[in-house]
Structure 1
Amino acid sequence: MTELVDAAGQPGAARWCDRCGEDAAAGGHVACAAAREWEPPRYCAQCRRRMKVQVVPAGWSAVCVEHGEIRG
């Protein structure tokens, strides 16, 4: 998975599952983790907003309006 950083650029913990959008601490995200090996994230792990995702042959990009873009 993509490493999260806080507003100061320091590594941070995921609050939300970036695939299903549910609470990451709740557990039961084994299927989400397996799917994320092949799929881009759909939700921002910091704020739970649905992201704009673009998949291209060379990879993917996902944009959160609050936290910016991540690529994979």
Structure 2
Amino acid sequence: MPDPTTVGGDVPPPWCDRCGEPARSGPHPACAAARALEPPRFCARCRRRMKVQILPAGWSAVCVEHGEFRG
């Protein structure tokens, strides 16, 4: 299963996984706070909107390019 927090090795992803804006544009404190309770909505690697499903034991998010992420 791909790791949504890195692009490859220790390289941080270029996009915010909650709002879809560039991650390097500055801090995203509201997104970080929301991610503590919500699943990601955008793929942090390619910025595509993901199909998200909330499950009793967590969540599942699918990017058509990068596959499934779980939490």
TM-score relative to the length of structure 2: 0.87
- Matched with 1:42 is 41
Q: Shift of residue 12 of structure 1?
A: 3.1
Map Cα deviations across residues 13-55 of structure 1 (whole Å, 9 max, x no partner): 1100000000000014100000000000000000000000000
Give the paired residue count.
68
Q: Is the CA contact (8 Å cut-off) linking 1:42 and 1:53 kept in structure 2?
A: yes
- Matched with 2:5 is 3
- CA RMSD, aligned part only? 1.3
- Matched with 2:68 is 69
Tell which has more relative contact order, 1 or 2 (C-alpha 8 A, sep 6+).
2
Sequence identity of aligned pairs in percent? Answer: 68
Show structure 1 runs of 5+ residues with no match.
none
- Matched with 1:52 is 51
| 4+ runs deviating over 4 angstroms | none
Show structure 2 runs of 5+ residues with no match.
none
TM-score relative to the length of structure 1: 0.85
Q: Shift of residue 4 of structure 1?
A: 2.4
